[in-house]
Structure 1
Amino acid sequence: MQKSMTSGNSLKLLLTFMVPLIIGNIFQQMYSISDIIIVGRTIGVNALAAVGAAAPIFMLLVMITMGMSNGLTVITGQFFGAGDFDNMRRSVAMSLRLSIISVIILAVGMFIVIDPLLALMNLPEILYEDTRSYILIVAEGLWAMMAYNFFSAVLRALGDSKTPVAFLIFATIINVGLALLFILKFGLGVPGSAYALVMAQGISAFLCVIYMWKHFPVLRLQKSDWKWDKQFALAHLKIGLPMAGQFSILGVGILLIQSITNSFGPNTIAGFTAAIRVEQLALQPMASFGIAMAAFSAQNYGAKQFQRIRDAVKKCSLIAMAFAFCAGILIFFFSESIIGIFIEEGNPKVIEDALLYLNCSVPFYFFLSQMFIYRSAVQGMGVGMVPLASSLIELSMRTGVAKFLATDWGYRGVCYASPVAWVAGSIFLFFAYRYFISLFERLNR
C-alpha cells in the first residue's frame, strides 16, 4: 500500500522503507552473482571471464534503465507527497511512455555499437563470442529490465518498498533454476545464463503490474491521463535524462576500467569480476539508504518539509557510515572464503587478483557511503544536474587514475582508481547538497 513519508519519525520511516530495499538489492545482485557462480564452477575460468567482460556493458544497461526510471518517477513522488493524485497518474502515464521510447532507442543502439565497443575493450579473442552473445541476448530482453525497474520505481515513489522485493526474490529463484537448467541440462553455456536472466526479469515485471492493478486503485490510469503534454514531458525528461546520464557515466567508468583490466588476461579478468561482485553485495545497505533517501526527499520536497530532509540526511549519513565500516571489516577478514565460492580450487592467480582489488578499495567505503546519501537527497529535490556533475567528476578521476597508475603499477594501479573517484565525488556532493537545501529553504520562506 502507498505510504506518505511527510510526517512521523523520519528515521523510523526510512528504516522501515529501507529494510525491504536491502533484501531486494541483495537479491537483485544475486541475479548476476548466481550466474557467475554457476558459470565459474560448471564451465570454467574462461567462461567466468567472458561473463565478467560482459558485466560492464550489462551494468551500463542496468544503470541507464534504473537512472531513467528513478528520475522520471521523482515527479510522481513529489505529486504524491503534495496529495495531487490526478497529476500523479498523469506522471505515471508520461513516465511509462518515455520509458518505452528510451528502451527501444537503447536496444537498437546496442546492436549497432556492439562490435566497435568490444573492439575498444581489449577483449581476449578466446572470450569474444561468448561475451558478444551474452550482451546481445540481454539487449534483446532490455524491455524486461526497464519494465521491472520502472514499476518498482513507481511503487517506491508511493512509499511501497516491500512489494517489488517479494517479486524480485521469487524471480531470483527462478533465475537460478533456469540458469542451471539451460547450462547443465541443455548445454547452452554462457548464453544460457543470459536467457535465464532476461526471463526472470520479465517475470518480476509482470508480477509488479498485476499487483499494482489489484492493490493500487489510485494508479489505474484513465484515458485522460495519457494526453500528450510537451511541457509535462520536458519536466520529466529534465530529471530523468540527467539521472540516466549520471548512471550511464558511472557505467562507462566501470567499462573503461574493465577495458584496462582486460589487457592483463583471463585470470585477472576473472579475479576482478569476482571481487566486484563481492563488493557490490557488501555495499547494498548503503545503496538502499540512497534509494530510500531519494523517495523520502522527493515526498518532503513536494510537501515543503525541508527540515525533515535535513534531519533524515544527517541520520542516514551516520548509519551509512556504520554500514560501510561493518562491510569493510567483513570483507577484510572473510573475502578469501567468499571469493572461493565463485571459482574452483587451483586458481591462485584469480584469488590473488580478487583479494588485491578488495584490499585496496575497502578502506575507502566511508566516502562511497556518503555519496549515496547526498546524491540521492539532491535527486529527490529534483536537481538533476548535480548528480550528473558528480558522475562526470567520478568518471574523469576513475579513468585518469587507472590509466596513469596502470602504466607503472599494473593491475594494482587499476584497483586504486575507484577509491580516488569516491573521495572526489563525496566532497563535491557534500557541498552541493548544503547549497541547494539552503537555497530551497530561502525560496520557500
Structure 2
Amino acid sequence: MQYDKALFETMSIPKAVAKNSIPAIISMMVVFIYNIADTFFIGQTGDELQVAAVTLAMPVFSLFIGAGVLLGIGGTSLISRSLGEGREGYAQKVSAFAFYAAIVLGLLMTVVFWTFMPTLLKVIGVSPDTIDHTRSYLTYLAIGAPFIIVSHTFSNIVRAEGKSTLAMKGMLLGTITNIILDPILILGFDMGVTGAAIATVIGNLFGALYFIVYLVSGRSILSIRFKDFQIADGVMFGVLAIGIPASLNNFMLSVANVFLNNFLMSYGDVQLAAMGVAIRANLIMIFVQIGLGQGIQPLIGYSYGAKHFDRLRGIIKFSVITAVVLGSVLTFIYWIFADMIVQSFIDSEEVVTYGTEMLRALIISGPIVGIMFIFINVLQGLGKVIPSLILSISRHGLVFIPLLYLLDAYAGLSGIIYTQPITDILTVIISVVIYLIVSRGLVDHKAKR
C-alpha cells in the first residue's frame, strides 16, 4: 500500500507530466464520449426536438459533475499536498470524507430534482415542443446522481496517489457500458431520450463500483472506511476551500448554458440544436486541455507540499508549452474538417450549416485556451482559494454572461456565436495576470526558506 513516490519526486518533468496527464486526457476523452454518445444516437432518430432536449438538460448533468468536481478536485488538492508533507493518515481521512459526502450529496440532489422538476424545466428554458422529452430525460438521470458524483469524485482523487491510469480505466468502464446500452435502448427499444438517460445512469454505476472495489482492496493508500470519516481538523474546510471554486466552474457552466439556451430559443430550435452539437464537438479540444491540467495538479500539489519549488516551476513551464502546441494542432484539424465533424452528429442539412459556422467560431481561441486550464489547476494544486475562485467564475460568469447580453444586442445571432471565443481570450489574459501575482509569492516563500 504505497503511492508512486518516484513520479512525484525523481522522475523527469516531461515523463512525469506525460505519465500523469496522458491517462487524464484519455479520461477526459471518455467524458467527451459520455457527452456525445447520447447526442449521437438520439441524432440517429432524426428527431431534432429530442436532440434539443438533451441540449437543454446539459446544464443539469453539469451540476452532477460539478458536485463530483467539488469533492474530487478539492480532495485531490488536499491529499496531494498532505502526501508531499508526509501526512498519509490525514490523506486517508480526506478520501473517506469525500466518499461519504458524495453519497449524501447525490441522494439530496436526486430528491431535490424530483421535487422541483416543474420549476427546473422552466428555469432551463424548455419550449412546449421539448418539455416532455426534457422531463423524461431528467427524471431518469436524477436517479443516477449518487453514482455520477462518486464516479467523478474518485476519478480525480485516485490521481493524487499517482494512479492516473486506474482513473482512466474506471472512466472507460462506465463509458463502454454507456456506448453498448445507448443504441440498444435508444434505437433498439425505441426509448429515445429515456433510454439515453438510463444508459448514462448504468454506466456511471459501473464506474462508481470500480473505484469502490479498488479502494477496499487494500491496494490503495487511501481509505473509504467509515472509521476514517472526519469533518474536523480542517478536512471538510480544506476540501471545500478548493472544491467550491473548482465546482463553481461547472456551476457557472450550467448557468451560462441556461442563459445561452434562452437566448438561442428566440432564434429557433434549429439554432439551439446546432449550438448543442457545436459545443459537444468542441469538447475534444477543451477536454484535452482540461485533462492536461488535471494531470499536473497532483504534481503541483505534491511539489508545493514538499517545498520542491524549482520542480514546481518546471512543471508549469513545460505544461504551458505543451498546452499551446496541442491547442494549435487541434485548431488546425477542427478548422479543416468542421463540416464533417458536425455532420457526424446529426443528419440535418440546416443544423449542419449552422453548426459548422458555430464550431469554427468556437475554436478561434483554441491555440491559447489551454493556458487558462493549466493555471486553474496550478492554483487549485497550490491551495490558493481566492485566486482560484476568481479564475473559476470568470470564463462562464463574470466575462461570458455580460458579453452575451452585449453581443446579442449589437450583433444578434452572430454575436451569440462569437461570445465564447472572445470570452476565452479575455479569460486567458486574466489567468496569466493572476498567476504572475501568485508566482511572486512563491518566490518570496522560497527566499524566506
**Fold match (TM-score > 0.5):** yes
SS at match of 2:202: helix
Number of residue pairs matched?
Answer: 443
Residue 253 (structure 2) pairs with residue 263 (structure 1): no
CA contact (8 A) 1:286 1:320 kept: yes
How far apart are the structure 2 equivalents of 1:152 and 1:420? Answer: 31
Deviations 1:164-208 (A, max 9, x none): 212322321211221222122322221110010011011011012
Distance 1:217 1:373, change over 3 A: closer
Contact 2:96 2:223 in 1 (8 A): no
Deviation at 1:217, TM superposition (A): 4.5
1:44-72 deviation digits (Å, cap 9, x = unpaired): 22211111121232223323322332112
Q: 1:404 aligns with which of 406, 429, 432?
A: 406
State the SS of the aligned residue for 1:229: coil
Letter in 2 for 1:423: I
Q: How does 1:144-159 map to 2 (within 5 A)?
A: 144-159=147-162
Whole-angstrom distance in 2 between the partners of 1:301 and 1:339:
42
2:113 matched residue in structure 1: 110
* Gaps in structure 1 of 5+ consecutive residues: none
2:437 to 419, 435, 438: 435
Cα displacement (A) at 1:30: 0.7
Aligned to 2:208: 205
Q: 1:222-241 counterparts in 2 under 5 A?
A: 224-229=227-232, 231-241=234-244
Cα distance, 1:393 vs. partner? Answer: 2.7
The alpha-carbon distance between structure 1 residues 375 and 323, as it changes in their structure 2 partners (threshold 3 A), is same
Does structure 2 retain, via aligned residues, the 8 Å contact 1:393–1:424? no
Post-superposition Cα deviations, 1:57-92, rounded to whole Å, max 9, x if no partner, equal 222332332233211231111112222211111111
RMSD: 2.0
CA contact under 8 A between 1:398 and 1:417: conserved in structure 2?
A: yes
Aligned partner letter, 1:440: L
The code of the aligned residue for 1:143 comes to: P
How far residue 43 of structure 1 moved from its aligned partner, in angstroms, is 4.7
Contact kept, 8 Å, 1:56 with 1:258, in 2: the verdict is: no
Q: 1:152 to 1:185 in 2, by over 3 A?
A: same
Residue pair 1:397, 1:420 contacting (<8 A) in 2 also: no
Superposed CA offset, 1:271-295 (max 9, x none):
1111111100233221111101211
Distance 1:227 1:360 in 2: 47
- Amino acid across the alignment from 1:436: V
**What percent of counterpart residues are identical?**
22
The one-letter code sitting in structure 1 at the alignment partner of 2:25 is I
Give the structure 1 partner of residue 423 of structure 2: 421
Q: Distance in 1 between matches of 2:62 and 2:131?
A: 18
Q: Distance in 2 between matches of 1:88 and 1:349?
A: 53
1:18 aligns with 2:21: yes
Q: Quick one: which amino acid aligns to residue 323 of structure 1?
A: L
Amino acid aligned to 1:391: S
State how far apart, in whole Å, the 1-side matches of 2:218 and 2:382 are.
28
Name the SS of the counterpart of 2:162 in structure 1: coil
Map of 1:212-291 to 2, 5 A cutoff? 212-214=215-217, 216-220=219-223, 224-229=227-232, 231-291=234-294
Counterpart pick for 2:301 among 298, 321, 346: 298
Find the partner of 1:74 among 67, 73, 77: 77
Report the counterpart of residue 364 of structure 2 in structure 1: 363
Give 1:180's match in structure 2, choosing from 176, 180, 183.
183
Tell me: CA distance 1:101–1:38, structure 2 relative to 1, closer, same or farther (3 Å): same
212 and 331 in structure 1: CA distance in 2 versus 1, 3 angstrom threshold = same
Alignment of 1:184-195 (within 5 A): 184-195=187-198
- SS where residue 410 of structure 1 aligns? helix
Which shifted more, 130-139 or 369-378? 130-139
In structure 2, the partner of 1:333 is: 336
Query: Which has the higher mean CA deviation after the structures are superposed, 189-198 or 238-247?
Result: 238-247
Question: Which SS does the other structure have where 2:129 is aligned?
Answer: helix
Question: Secondary structure at 1:187's aligned position in 2?
Answer: coil
- Cα deviation for residue 41 of structure 1 reads 0.8
Q: 1:324 Cα deviation (Å)?
A: 0.8
State the alpha-carbon separation in 2 of the partners of residues 97 and 440 from structure 1.
34
Q: Is 1:84 aligned to residue 90 of structure 2?
A: no
Query: 1:103-141 CA deviation, whole Å, 9 max, x = no partner?
Result: 344333433544334324442211111112212322221
Change (3 A) 1:307 1:106: farther
TM-score, normalization: structure 1?
A: 0.94
Is the CA contact (8 Å cut-off) linking 2:75 and 2:239 kept in structure 1?
A: yes
Structure 1 pair 349–438 and aligned structure 2 pair: CA distance change class (3 A): same
| Residue among 291, 306, 313 paired with 2:316 | 313
Task: Say whether 1:323 aligns with 2:326.
Answer: yes
Instruction: Check 1:255–1:294 CA distance in 2 against 1; reply closer, same or farther (3 A cut).
Output: farther
List per-residue Cα deviations over 1:337-362 (Å, max 9, x = no partner).
11111112xx2220121111122122
Q: 1:224 to 1:44 in 2, by over 3 A?
A: closer
Which range moved further: 377-386 or 256-265? 256-265
Distance 1:386 1:113, change over 3 A: farther
Output aligned runs, 1:29-48, within 5 Å. Answer: 29-48=32-51
- Of 17-26 and 59-68, more deviation after overlay is shown by 59-68
